[in-house]
Structures are given as C-alpha cells and as structure tokens.
C-alpha cells in the first residue's frame, strides 16, 4: 500500500458521498487521555495526549475516516502528530459481526516510520477478534512484516483483552478496563474509560511495564441525510 492506495480510498469516499440514494452520517470526535498507549506500546512518554478525528459511515456498511493524536518519544527525542487514514466495510448477521478494511499510519517530525495494514475482524455477542496484517519501512532499512491479533471480551462496560504481535515484530500485552458515557439529566456529556495495560518485556524491548490510563472523549454529529 502506498499513496495510490490513499488516493483510491479518498476517491471511493467521494463517490459514495455523492450517491444520493445512500444514507450518509458524518461525525467528529475529540478527547484527551492521561497517556497514549497503542497496542501496549507507549506513544507519549508518560504524558497526556490529545486526539481527534472524523468519520463517514454509509448505511450499506462502508466507512472511511481519519484520526490524529499528539505523540512524544521523551526528552531529546522526536515528537509530533500521528495521522491515521482508514476505510472499509462491516456488517452483522444475527449475533455475528464481521469487517474488512485498511489503515495507513503516518507521523510528522520523524517520530516513527510509515505503517500500512489490512484489518480483518469478527465477533459474536460479547467476544471479538481482530487480525491486522501490516508492513513498515523500518526507517529506510528492509521492509518489515508483522501481524497483530486482539482477542477481546466485553460485558456491561467492562472489558478485557489479549493482544499479540508476531512475524518480524513480537510481544504481548493485556488490558482490563471499564468504559461508559456520563449522562446528566438525560443528556450525554462525554464518554470515559479507565484501563490497566500490562506490556511484556519482549514487546517493549527490555523490561515489562504496567500503565493505568484514563480517557475522556466526545463524539459530535456533523451531518446526515
């Protein structure tokens, strides 16, 4: 996947938006977390991170969007912005859900390299499994391949998950947490979550680590037809 992939995704999104017979919902979101940890790997050097994005969803199950977050590698290191662009298709059959899509990860100020992924997902009631097949350029070195899987269980806002990397990148992480929406006088104010994340020493390339993350976010309806 490269810039042509991104151009194709944006062109497809433009065509779908322009189709009058298809219902479209556009939303925007933003928030703040006490620390940005992505798939068990710290991305903000223990500091808070701000994030936000926008999504387009069609009633046939197609979706596209973008998301960004501040990132920081610590004193003397690189910081900047992570920018993700994604799109795909998802649906449900009874108690089962499924999805397929692609995600492109880009970073400013040389914080990290470019990552491109194929994303597959499936679920049944409170269980879900996501499988990501990706590659990254390894800072002008030989391209590296990786796979990532995430098995997750959810019940009444509580959740637990096991994530694992394999191929050219290895490591495991475990998450338990709780998330909900703060509602006052029948008005949804914002979403919040608390999570505990354990990352093993293989994933972090040294010592294992446990982090507690608090996050608040808000999603806004922008437009729909």
- A 10 A CB-CB count for 92 gives 11
Q: What is the pLDDT of residues 125-143, one digit of tens each?
A: 999 999 999 999 877 778 9
Q: What is the pLDDT of residues 109-123, one digit of tens each?
A: 889 999 999 999 999
pLDDT the model gives residue 12: 53
Domain boundaries, the chain: 3-217
* Mean pLDDT, range 155-159, rounded to an integer: 98
Using an 8 Å Cβ cutoff, are 104 and 6 in contact? yes
* Mean pLDDT, range 186-208, rounded to an integer: 97
Using an 8 Å Cβ cutoff, are 136 and 145 in contact? no
- A 10 A CB-CB count for 132 gives 20
The class (CATH top level) of 3-217 is: mainly beta
Residues above pLDDT 90, as percent of the chain: 83
pLDDT the model gives residue 74: 84
The structure tokens listed for 142 are 């030989």
pLDDT the model gives residue 124: 98
- Looking at every residue in the chain, the average pLDDT score rounds to 92
Is residue 22 predicted with pLDDT exceeding 80? no
Is residue 105 predicted with pLDDT exceeding 60? yes
Alpha helices, DSSP H, located in the chain: 3-17, 201-204
Strand partners, 16: none
Is residue 15 predicted with pLDDT exceeding 70? no
pLDDT the model gives residue 25: 97
Strand partners, 166: 147
* Mean pLDDT, range 33-39, rounded to an integer: 98
* Mean pLDDT, range 90-118, rounded to an integer: 96
């Amino acid at each position: 996947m490269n810039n042509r992939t991104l151009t194709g995704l944006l062109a497809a999104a433009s065509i779908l938006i322009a189709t009058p017979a298809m219902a479209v919902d556009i939303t925007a979101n933003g928030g703040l977390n006490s620390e940005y940890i992505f798939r068990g790997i710290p991305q903000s050097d223990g500091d808070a991170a701000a994030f936000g994005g926008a999504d387009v969803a069609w009633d046939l199950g197609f979706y596209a969007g973008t998301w960004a977050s501040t990132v920081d590698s610590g004193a003397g290191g690189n910081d900047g912005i992570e920018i993700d662009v994604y799109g795909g298709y998802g649906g449900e059959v009874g108690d089962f859900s499924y999805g397929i899509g692609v995600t492109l990860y880009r970073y400013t100020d040389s914080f990290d390299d470019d990552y491109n992924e194929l994303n597959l997902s499936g679920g049944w009631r409170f269980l879900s499994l996501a499988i990501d097949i990706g590659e990254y350029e390894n800072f002008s070195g030989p391209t590296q391949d990786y796979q990532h899987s995430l098995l997750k269980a959810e019940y009444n806002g509580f959740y637990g998950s096991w994530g694992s990397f394999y191929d050219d990148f290895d490591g495991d992480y475990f998450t338990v947490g709780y998330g909900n929406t703060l509602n006052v006088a029948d008005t949804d104010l914002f979403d919040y979550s608390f999570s505990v994340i354990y990352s093993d020493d293989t994933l972090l390339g040294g010592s294992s680590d446990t982090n507690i993350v608090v996050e608040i976010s808000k999603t806004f309806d922008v437009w729909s037809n």
